[in-house]
C-alpha cells in the first residue's frame, strides 16, 4: 500500500506542473473569455451585463459572422480533402525508403517551423497587385497591363489566404503519417507480399486500416486548426475589409463559440473513428 501511495505521489509531482500550466493558460483564459462574452465591453469603459445578447447578435444580426463561419468550414474542407490526402500520399512515398528521404522530410517540414507572420509576408509578395509573382505570370501569358489586387478584393481575399493556409501544414501532417506508417510491423507487408498482394491492396487493406488512430488525430488537428485560423489570414489581409476593433465582449463571444465548435467537431470525429480504431487495435 505504501509503495502504491509513493508511486501516486511521484506521478502527481510530474503531472502537477503540466496541470498548473494547463489551468493557467487554457482554463482560466477560457473562463475569462466566457465571462466577457456576457457583457457589452470595449476594453476601456465600464462593463454592461447583457447576458446572451452578444450570442444573439452573432447569429441574428451580424451577417459577417455567419459568412466567417462558412469561410472557416471551407477551410476545414480544403484541409480535409486537399491537405491531408497530399500529406498521406507523400508520407507513403517517403516511408518506402526513397532516395533523399531525410532531406525531403526536412524540406516539407520547413514551412511548419517558420512563423505564420513570415509565411504571410512571403505570400503577400506573391499576391501583390503590382510586383506579385502571380500577376507577373498572368502578364507574361496574357494582357501585359494586367493588375489585380487579390488580397483586398472581397471576392478573392479569402481564397488567396486559403492556399498558404493549406500549404503551410502539409509537412506537419506528413510527419505524423510518416511516423505512423513506420510504426507498422513489417510482418504484415511481408505476409502480403507472399500472398501476392498489389501495392493498392497493401495500402487499402493494411496501411490505411492500421493508420486509423493516426488519421483520426490528423483530422482533429486539421479541423480545429482551420476553425481557429487567424494569424496568417490577419497578416495577409489586415483582417479583411469587414474587421471591426474594440469589441471585447463581442469578440469574446465569438472566441468562446469557436471553442465550443472545436469541441463539437472533436466529439463527432472521435465517434466516427471509434469502430475503425477498434478494428485497428484488433489486428
pLDDT score of 239: 64
- pLDDT averaged over every residue in the chain: 86
pLDDT band at 6 (very low <50, low <70, confident <90, very high): low
pLDDT score of 235: 80
pLDDT score of 243: 64
DSSP-assigned letters across all residues of 5-35 = HHHHHHHHHHHHHHHHHHIIIIIHHHHHHHH
Question: 32-55, pLDDT tens digit by residue?
Answer: 889 989 998 887 878 889 989 999
pLDDT score of 3: 56
199 found inside a domain: yes
Q: Residue 138's domain is classified under what CATH number? A: 1.10.3720.10
12 found inside a domain: no
Query: Which comes out higher in pLDDT, residue 244 or 204?
Result: 204
1 found inside a domain: no
Domain that holds residue 273: 63-282
11 found inside a domain: no
41 found inside a domain: no
Question: 216-266, pLDDT tens digit by residue?
Answer: 999 999 999 999 888 888 888 776 655 666 678 888 898 899 999 999 999
155 found inside a domain: yes
In this structure, are residues 83 and 145 in contact, taking their beta carbons and an 8 Å threshold?
Answer: no
pLDDT band at 203 (very low <50, low <70, confident <90, very high): confident
Long-range contacts of 266-273 (CB under 8 A, 24+ apart): 266/220, 266/223, 266/224, 269/216, 269/219, 269/220, 269/223, 270/216, 270/220, 273/212, 273/213, 273/215, 273/216, 273/219
Question: 127-175, pLDDT tens digit by residue?
Answer: 887 778 888 888 888 777 778 888 888 788 888 889 999 999 999 999 9
Task: Check whether 278 has a pLDDT greater than 80.
Answer: no
Q: Where are the alpha helices (DSSP H) in 132-247?
A: 133-141, 157-168, 170-182, 186-194, 199-202, 208-210, 212-227, 231-237
pLDDT score of 216: 94
pLDDT score of 200: 87
126 found inside a domain: yes
197 found inside a domain: yes
pLDDT score of 281: 67
Total structural domains within the chain: 1
In this structure, are residues 48 and 41 in contact, taking their beta carbons and an 8 Å threshold?
Answer: yes
In this structure, are residues 220 and 277 in contact, taking their beta carbons and an 8 Å threshold?
Answer: no
pLDDT score of 245: 66
Amino acid at each position: 500500500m505504501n509503495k502504491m501511495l509513493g508511486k501516486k505521489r511521484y506521478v502527481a509531482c510530474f503531472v502537477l506542473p503540466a496541470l498548473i500550466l494547463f489551468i493557467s493558460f487554457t482554463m482560466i483564459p477560457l473562463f475569462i473569455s466566457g465571462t466577457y462574452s456576457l457583457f457589452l465591453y470595449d476594453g476601456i469603459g465600464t462593463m454592461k451585463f447583457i447576458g446572451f445578447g452578444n450570442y444573439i447578435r452573432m447569429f441574428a444580426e451580424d451577417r459577417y459572422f455567419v459568412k466567417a463561419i462558412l469561410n472557416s468550414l471551407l477551410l476545414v474542407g480544403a484541409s480535409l480533402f486537399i491537405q491531408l490526402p497530399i500529406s498521406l500520399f507523400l508520407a507513403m512515398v517517403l516511408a518506402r525508403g526513397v532516395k533523399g528521404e531525410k532531406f525531403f522530410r526536412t524540406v516539407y517540414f520547413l514551412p511548419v517551423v517558420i512563423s505564420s507572420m513570415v509565411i504571410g509576408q512571403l505570400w503577400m509578395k506573391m499576391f501583390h497587385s503590382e510586383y506579385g509573382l502571380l500577376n507577373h505570370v498572368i502578364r507574361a501569358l496574357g494582357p501585359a497591363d494586367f493588375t489585380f489586387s487579390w488580397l483586398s478584393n472581397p471576392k478573392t481575399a479569402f481564397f488567396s489566404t486559403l492556399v498558404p493556409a493549406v500549404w503551410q501544414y502539409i509537412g506537419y501532417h506528413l510527419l505524423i503519417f510518416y511516423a505512423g506508417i513506420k510504426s507498422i510491423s513489417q510482418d504484415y507487408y511481408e505476409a502480403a507480399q507472399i500472398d501476392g498482394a498489389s501495392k493498392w491492396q497493401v495500402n487499402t487493406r493494411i496501411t490505411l486500416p492500421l493508420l486509423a488512430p493516426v488519421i483520426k488525430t490528423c483530422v482533429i488537428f486539421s479541423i480545429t486548426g482551420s476553425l481557429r485560423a487567424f494569424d496568417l489570414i490577419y497578416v495577409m489581409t489586415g483582417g479583411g475589409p469587414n474587421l471591426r476593433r474594440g469589441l471585447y465582449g463581442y469578440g469574446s463571444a465569438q472566441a468562446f463559440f469557436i471553442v465550443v465548435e472545436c469541441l463539437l467537431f472533436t466529439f463527432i470525429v472521435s465517434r466516427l473513428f471509434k469502430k475503425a480504431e477498434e478494428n485497428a487495435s484488433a489486428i
